[in-house]
Structure 1
Amino acid sequence: MEKLSSQLLDLLTAFFQTYPPVYFKKGEIILRPDRIPSGVYCIENGYVKVYFLSEQGDERLHIIYKKEDIFPLIWAFKNTTKEVFYEALTDITLRMVPKEKFLNFIKQKPLLLLILIERLIDIFDIHVNRVRNLEITSSYPRLISRLLFLSARFGKKVKNQMIIDLPLTHKEIASSINMTRETVSRECQKLVKKGLIRQKNHLIIIPDLEKLEKETALHYERVLI
């Protein structure tokens, strides 16, 4: 199954690569809620953040897409858009395919639906994780929980330490877990002082993942009913 998934992903990636690259600089808006998307995008490199604006105009980060992620799939299949913005978190290269061309290709290669279902399940799992994270009332374990999630999704192991290979500011972390930037900065300093994380060039380094997991258990115990 894993080999088949890899082959299908290669096929889908090759299809997107038949279309010219589209470039966005960090901070540029790719999609916005008041405009119909131009097509379906696949990320060739870089990161895209998806967020909505609160009534006060504050960002509320939903999800971050990475290399080989495809969006917006809900619009592609259901023709509905959400009240969210897609913004380049870094300089990025995308491939954009017109919606009808994308759907026709999927119809011709129905096994590709396996890849798309996997992606949709991943997105669902990310949103479930975010809801569970917001159920943690204390800021310290909530932040740790978020860092563990980010390490699982974006982490790279280098010399027995985990690097969250994603340039996030404290403000962006805060917007994803309904906290203020000041609170995130304060709680991060606690983790730094305990030697549980290090920060360098907007990257977070976790020297010992197991110790960070144990720190969560010390400060948050989920009640099972």
Structure 2
Amino acid sequence: MYCEETTVNELKSFYRKYPTIKFAKGEVIFQQNEVPAHVYAIKSGVVKVSNLSADGVDQLISFEIIDDIVPICWAFSKTTKALFYYQAYTDCEFYIMSKEVFEAHMANNVGFANAMLSRQVSSYVGNMLQVDALEKTRAYTKLLYTFRYLCLRYGRDIRRDLVKIYVPLTQQEIANTTGLTRETTTLELKKLREQKILSVRRKYYTVDTSKLNAQIDDEYDPGIDVSMLTKVV
């Protein structure tokens, strides 16, 4: 089995050969429809990926974290431009390399190619869980499934049945993620805190997955280990 530790080691051994660049929180990394000059691999920090509509509405798509590649679609030649808007959600540092170097290493290094495949499959599974959460109709249920997705995509076990989500989230960002209003999100989050399903400190949420599981009408982790999806932070 291609484990997470192997994946991380393969990626880091390649990335660390290249120079780095820093962006402060809030700085734009790539504009939507921009033609990037380089492939960026995240060394530290969190990148917000969003879709900026013609009328200026910023719709959150996802977050990218340590060792992720941005912009991923352009790096793999699936688009000719940055598909979305990329912004430093926290202070960030990136390894930078040419697209040609990235593609050549993918083609000539089986270990690195397997590591990238493992990474993208994890992201794909996470995206399916996000869609599953969005399809729930009740606000309370939608948040339960959203936190399941966040735990599996961005969380790390800190002890048995307790997962910390390593992306700082405001209530507005959670509202944007779920499509709920800020007011509804605030109300439903209060219910989750009162039931000790989650707690928050400085925008970082910790989730009791045992209590979360008791509220969800399917299995919390149907054969998926948290470490199979999340990245080392």
TM-score, normalisation: structure 2: 0.83
Report the AA paired with residue 40 of structure 1: V
* Cα displacement (A) at 1:96: 0.9
Residues of 1 paired with 2:105 and 2:157: CA distance? 36
TM-score, normalisation: structure 1: 0.86
Residues of 2 paired with 1:124 and 1:172: CA distance? 21
Q: Which residue of 1 aligns with 2:201?
A: 200
Q: Which residue of 2 aligns with 1:33?
A: 32
Whether the aligned pair in 1 keeps the contact of 2:165 and 2:205 (CA below 8 Å) is yes
Residues of 2 paired with 1:82 and 1:11: CA distance? 25
Whether the aligned pair in 2 keeps the contact of 1:62 and 1:127 (CA below 8 Å) is no
SS, match of residue 126 in structure 1:
helix
Report the AA paired with residue 75 of structure 2: A
Q: Which residue of 2 aligns with 1:217?
A: 217
Residues of 2 paired with 1:130 and 1:88: CA distance? 22
Whether the aligned pair in 1 keeps the contact of 2:51 and 2:84 (CA below 8 Å) is yes
Residues of 1 paired with 2:127 and 2:153: CA distance? 13
> Residues 123 and 157 (structure 1 numbering): CA distance in 2 closer, same or farther, change over 3 Å?
closer
* Cα displacement (A) at 1:202: 0.6
* Cα displacement (A) at 1:107: 2.4
Residues of 2 paired with 1:193 and 1:26: CA distance? 32
- Structure 1, unaligned stretches of length 5 or more? 219-225
Q: Which residue of 2 aligns with 1:148?
A: 148
**Aligned residue pairs, count:** 216
* Cα displacement (A) at 1:82: 4.9
Residues of 2 paired with 1:159 and 1:99: CA distance? 40
Report the AA paired with residue 50 of structure 2: Y
* Residue correspondence of structure 1 range 89-128 to structure 2 within 5 A: 89-128=89-128
Q: Which residue of 2 aligns with 1:164?
A: 165
Residues of 1 paired with 2:78 and 2:149: CA distance? 30
Q: Which residue of 2 aligns with 1:75?
A: 74
Larger radius of gyration: 1
> Residues 43 and 191 (structure 1 numbering): CA distance in 2 closer, same or farther, change over 3 Å?
same
Report the AA paired with residue 164 of structure 2: I
Whether the aligned pair in 2 keeps the contact of 1:50 and 1:87 (CA below 8 Å) is yes
* Cα displacement (A) at 1:169: 0.6
* Cα displacement (A) at 1:22: 0.8
- Structure 2, unaligned stretches of length 5 or more? 219-233
Q: Which residue of 1 aligns with 2:231?
A: none
* Cα displacement (A) at 1:136: 0.4
String of CA shifts for 1:70-121, please: whole Å, max 9, x gaps: 2223212225135411111111111011111111222222442212222222
String of CA shifts for 1:24-55, please: whole Å, max 9, x gaps: 11111111123111211111111111110245
Whether the aligned pair in 2 keeps the contact of 1:167 and 1:203 (CA below 8 Å) is yes
Q: Which residue of 1 aligns with 2:189?
A: 188
For the aligned residue pairs, the C-alpha RMSD in angstroms reads 2.2
The structure showing larger relative contact order (alpha-carbon pairs under 8 Å, at least 6 residues apart) is 2
Residues of 1 paired with 2:56 and 2:5: CA distance? 41
> Residues 98 and 198 (structure 1 numbering): CA distance in 2 closer, same or farther, change over 3 Å?
same
SS, match of residue 34 in structure 1:
coil
Query: Higher mean Cα deviation, 108-117 or 59-68?
Result: 108-117
